[in-house]
């Protein structure tokens, strides 16, 4: 699918995609109201002059942890902070849901429900999320071939919700490593839905720190640029934080907030080049 005929998704009454790169960004988990507003405000400042649509992301709970002692987040009550971000900065918001009975309550505060990679084939969860009629962001499981995501999309669409996008976040490769198959983006595009690349989770090293997941944020910019260069990516996902190493979850993978502007500019430059027809200068 060429960059000139890219699909769109409707989020909070707005069209995202269609050849224009959009952004999903925010911290891994909600930590405090003040930090949530700080990060959302900074991302909004970065996106506005670049005319980049963005969805602010943060999770009230991260249930898929390496150990029971790993940080999970403040719990469902903190989802109110995402509603505040939406009202204050005018951006849509997204959060993870892990159980079918979380979908309807979460949909009252956010515009997009995210299905974690480990749960992408959980039919009851997909159907409950679809029934909210919110846009869905379904991450491809680390164990799943890209062409198998067509079955995941079909579950959602058959439930009456066409507003779904699919996300690549790396594939399990041996123990504690993930790889990104750049040829897989074409297969994900074959679903007919917008494709998102999760650059920060793709550099995870699951369980590398013993009771926590490790990673290497230095690899994020190159992977993001390479994914966008395929011409089959509609959105990019970055977890960002002013001090990632102090984050309770996924710190080694997250981009430092004061470096994010430079990272995004590099990705946008490659996206612009990828949209230029071959031979045109």
Token pair listed for 134: 């919110």
What DSSP designation does 254 have? S
Residue among 160, 170, 159, 163 at smallest CA distance from 123: 159
pLDDT score at 121: 96
Provide the whole-model pTM. Answer: 0.91
Q: Is the dihedral of CA 110, 108, 141, 235 positive or negative?
A: negative
Q: Does domain 24-274 have CATH number 3.20.20.70?
A: yes
CB 233 within 8 A of CB 241: no
Token pair listed for 249: 């979850």
CB count in 10 Å sphere of residue 151: 12
* Alpha-carbon distances of 11 from 15, 24, 274, rounded to whole Å: 6, 12, 25
CB 203 within 8 A of CB 223: yes
Distance (Å, whole) CA 63 – CA 168: 20
pLDDT score at 153: 98
What is the radius of gyration, based on Cα positions, of the chain? 17
pLDDT score at 73: 74
Distance (Å, whole) CA 242 – CA 233: 27
pLDDT score at 66: 56
pLDDT score at 10: 98
Low-confidence ranges of the chain (pLDDT < 70): 1-4, 63-71, 206-215, 277-281
Residue 175 CB contacts under 8 Å (≥ 6 apart), including other chains: none
Q: Which residue ranges make up each domain of the chain? A: 24-274
The values of phi and psi at residue 192, to 5°, are: 80, 5
CB 169 within 8 A of CB 139: yes
pLDDT score at 175: 81
Report pLDDT digits (tens) over 210-242.
445 656 778 999 999 999 999 999 999 999 999
């Amino acid at each position: 699918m060429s960059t000139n005929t890219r699909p769109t998704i409707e989020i909070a009454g707005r069209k995202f995609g269609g050849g224009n790169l959009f952004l999903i960004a925010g911290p891994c988990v909600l930590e405090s109201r003040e930090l949530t507003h700080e990060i959302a405000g900074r991302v909004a400042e970065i996106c506005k002059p670049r005319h980049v649509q963005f969805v602010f992301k943060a999770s009230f709970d991260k249930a898929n942890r390496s150990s029971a002692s790993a940080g999970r987040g403040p719990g469902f009550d903190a989802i109110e902070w995402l509603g505040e971000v939406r009202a204050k900065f005018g951006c849509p918001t997204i959060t993870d849901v892990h159980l079918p009975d979380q979908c309807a309550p979460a949909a009252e505060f956010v515009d997009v429900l995210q299905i974690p990679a480990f749960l992408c084939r959980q039919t009851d969860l997909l159907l409950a999320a679809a029934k909210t009629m919110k846009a869905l962001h379904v991450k491809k499981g680390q164990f799943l071939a890209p062409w198998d995501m067509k079955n995941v999309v079909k579950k959602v669409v058959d439930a009456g919700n066409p507003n779904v996008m699919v996300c690549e976040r790396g594939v399990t490769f041996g123990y504690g490593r993930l790889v990104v198959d750049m040829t897989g983006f074409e297969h994900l595009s074959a679903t007919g839905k917008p494709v998102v690349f999760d650059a920060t989770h793709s550099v995870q090293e699951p369980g590398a720190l013993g009771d926590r997941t490790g990673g290497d944020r230095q690899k994020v910019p190159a992977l993001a640029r390479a994914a966008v260069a395929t011409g089959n990516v509609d959105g990019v996902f970055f977890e960002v934080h002013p001090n990632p190493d102090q984050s309770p979850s996924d710190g080694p993978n997250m981009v430092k907030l004061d470096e994010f502007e430079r990272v995004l500019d590099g990705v946008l430059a490659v996206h612009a080049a990828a949209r230029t027809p071959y031979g045109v200068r």
